[in-house]
Amino acid sequence: MNIRALLTFAVALAACASVPAQQAPITQGQKYVMATHSFNVFIGPTRPRDRNVEVKPGPLAALAAERGKTGHEALAVQMIGGSTPMQHWNQGDGDDSMNIAKVALSKGGVDVFTMSPNARMPEPGIDLFGDLVMETNPNARILVQCSWSAWDGNGLTPSVGGTAAPAFSNEDHDNADVATIELWLAGLEAGGGYLERLRTQLQSINQRAGRDIAYVVPSAVSAYTLRKAILEGTVPGVRLQSEIFSDGIGHPNAPLANVVTYTWYAAMYRESPVGLTALIDANDPTSAEREHRLQQIAWNAVVTEPMGGVKGAPVTVESAAH
Non-local (6+) Cβ contacts of 53 within 8 A are: none
pLDDT tens digit string along 144-183?
999 999 999 999 988 888 887 789 999 999 999 999 999 9
Instruction: Give phi and psi for 76, each to the nearest 5.
Output: -165, 145
Which CATH number is 26-303 given? 3.40.50.1110
pLDDT surpassing 50 at residue 190: yes
Question: Which among 172, 180, 264 has a CA at the least distance from the CA of 224?
Answer: 180
Quick check: 187 pLDDT over 70? yes
Residue 74 bridge partners (DSSP): 32
**In the chain, pLDDT over 70 holds for what percent of residues?**
92
Amino acid at 148: W
pLDDT of residue 22: 66
Residue 267 has pLDDT above 60, yes or no: yes
pLDDT band at residue 304 using 50, 70 and 90 as cut-offs: very high
pLDDT for 21: 59
Q: Which of the four pLDDT bands, split at 50, 70 and 90, describes residue 93?
A: very high
Domain boundaries, the chain: 26-303
Give the separation between CA 64 and CA 7, rounded to whole angstroms. Answer: 30
Backbone angles phi, psi at 116, to 5 degrees: -135, 85
pLDDT tens digits along 38-85: 999 999 999 877 777 888 999 999 999 999 999 999 999 999 999 999
Is residue 15 within 8 A of residue 5, CB to CB? The reply is no
Q: How do residues 1-44 score in pLDDT, each as one tens digit?
A: 444 433 333 434 444 444 555 678 999 999 999 999 999 999 99
The pLDDT tens digits for 97-129 are 999 999 999 999 999 999 999 999 999 999 999
pLDDT at 234: 96
